Amino acid sequence: MTRYFILILSFMCTAAHAQSRGTFMVQGDSVKKELVEHTGYLENSKMTVVNTSDKPIYLEWQTISNTFPQAWDCSMCQHGKCQIGIPKGSVFKRLNPGQEGFIAIHVLPEQHPGAGTVKFKLYDKEHPEYYKILTFSVKVL
């Protein structure tokens, strides 16, 4: 009986450890800081993620905060789709094992200096308990 208990406990700990690592990782830093001249624009600030599991995954994201000035013209792209503005959330196109995906923002400040930050919570739809916060900070001089 004790052997079975130890075996089951060992299996549960191994499964919990594997799950706590998640099914994806952010390549590089999960915080991007961008500096833009007020006469210019931020064409593409991108963060790349990779599927580290051995199965296809669908990453979902939610905007958890957005302090970009209203005067700025902003948009964003994700793996599989681009959208006007910064929406509340969406789902990536399927990521196969080892495949990379991304979230990117674009800012046209329309000659309005200022600063703002947008934060996205990114997680695997199958394992929402494992997530990463991706932060884009933009300062327009």
- pLDDT of res. 2: 58
pLDDT confidence of residue 40: 92
Mean pLDDT by 10 residues, the chain (141 residues): 51 46 92 94 95 96 96 92 92 94 95 96 95 97 94
pLDDT of residue 38: 87
Instruction: Please give the CATH topology (third level) of the domain spanning 22-140.
Output: Immunoglobulin-like (2.60.40)
Q: Where are the domains of the chain?
A: 22-140
Q: Output the pTM of the full model.
A: 0.82
How far apart CA 36 and CA 16 sit, in angstroms, is 43
Q: What is the structure's pLDDT at 18?
A: 44
pLDDT at 80: 84
